Amino acid sequence: MSFYEDQPAVTVIGLGPMGRALAGAFLDAGVRTTVWNRTPGRDGELVARGAKSAGSAREAVEASPLTVVCVVNYDAADAVLRQDEVAAALKGRTVVNLSADTAARARDLGAWAADHGVGYLDGAIMTPATSIGTAEAVFLHSGPAALYEQARGVLGALGGTHTHVGEEIGRAAAYDLALLDVFWTAMSGYAHALAMAQADGVSPRELAPFAQGIAAILPPLFEEFAADVEEGTYSGHINPITSAVSTMAHIVHASEAHGIDASVMRATEGLARRVIGLGHGGDGFIRVVDLLGRRG
């Protein structure tokens, strides 16, 4: 089935903030857009802008050769897509699932799609809803390269950059969770830092510009540490883990002296001390990857 008739067409299933942003971007780009949401009442603004409101999930997927799904997780995606009447309507069509979940769930849904004659691409949105339709949007996709090439013209209406990260269907989800791990771990650290600073009389706005300076140190370290892990070098010539663990202990002690929960840093310190106990005290902190992967 062609992705184009007289004009490109797409169906969007899921009209939370991100789904509405996706549908809006398609409309702005002149893509004929059909929308559907399990909870009624979220499509009013989109319909006013020219979207077609489907009366059911089956009607929604029948309206377009390409269906983009953006719901809270794969339980929600399964609840829609795996209905017998929806699966039958999807045969010969393509689904791009931009919902967030694990790589294992992506593989499971991909296998189901293959068994039912449904083209399937998995994807991840790495930027907030406000970025959709702009140059700042970032999308990752995985699945059959030929299918991605067919769909990319319509997906390009969402703006930003689209990267095909491989044919193995779980790769986009693997990237997504790993990158969200970086984000939420960093946000947790920043929240803890603000609480610590306030306890010693430093306001959040006073700390913020210096926190940005710390953040600027990280990108080259990401590259260096990635090479260390792949090559097994774990260089600690500048900051061995024995030195790093001392700083971690200071943070724990200062936090707890103020009555601030230090469980996240205690966990990090514990990992570092286990690495030292295994005889790797001269290595850099990133040696904990081996420990986390049960290879150390």
Given CA atoms 282, 285, 291, 295 in this order, what sign does their dihedral have?
negative
For residues 112 and 35, state if they share a domain: yes
CATH code of 52's domain: 3.40.50.720
What single letter denotes the amino acid at residue 145?
A
* Residue of 175, 171, 173, 210 whose CA lies nearest to 190: 210
Burial annotation 138-177 (CB, 10 A radius, 16+ → b, else e):
ebbbbbbeebbebbeebbebbbbebebbbeebbbbbbbbe
For residues 22 and 114, state if they share a domain: yes
Output the six-digit token pair for 109.
Answer: 């849904």
Q: What three-state secondary structure class fits 94?
A: strand
Q: What percent of the chain has pLDDT over 70?
A: 97
For residues 212 and 141, state if they share a domain: no
Whether 180 is in a domain gets the answer no
For residues 211 and 100, state if they share a domain: no
For residues 161 and 208, state if they share a domain: no
For residues 32 and 90, state if they share a domain: yes
What single letter denotes the amino acid at residue 154?
V
CATH code of 275's domain: 1.10.1040.10
- Per the prediction, the chain carries an average pLDDT of 95
Q: Answer whether 121's CB lies under 8 Å from 13's CB.
A: no
How buried is residue 189: exposed, middle or buried, by Cβ count under 10 Å (0-12/13-18/19+)? Answer: middle
**Token match 């068994």: residue?**
115
How many domains, in total, are found in the chain? 2
Q: Which of 149, 167, 185 is the last residue of a domain?
A: 167
For residues 209 and 72, state if they share a domain: no
Q: What is the pLDDT of residues 277-290, one digit of tens each?
A: 999 999 999 999 99
Q: What is the pLDDT of residues 12-45, one digit of tens each?
A: 999 999 999 999 999 999 999 999 999 999 999 9
Q: Which of 167, 190, 224 is the last residue of a domain?
A: 167
Q: What is the pLDDT of residues 1-14, one digit of tens each?
A: 445 445 799 999 99
For residues 149 and 37, state if they share a domain: yes
- Domain that includes residue 132, residue range: 9-167
Whole-structure pTM value: 0.93
Q: What percent of the chain has pLDDT over 90?
A: 94
For residues 43 and 152, state if they share a domain: yes
Q: What is the pLDDT of residues 53-90, one digit of tens each?
A: 999 999 999 999 999 999 999 999 999 999 999 999 99
CA distance linking residue 50 with residue 56, whole number of Å: 18
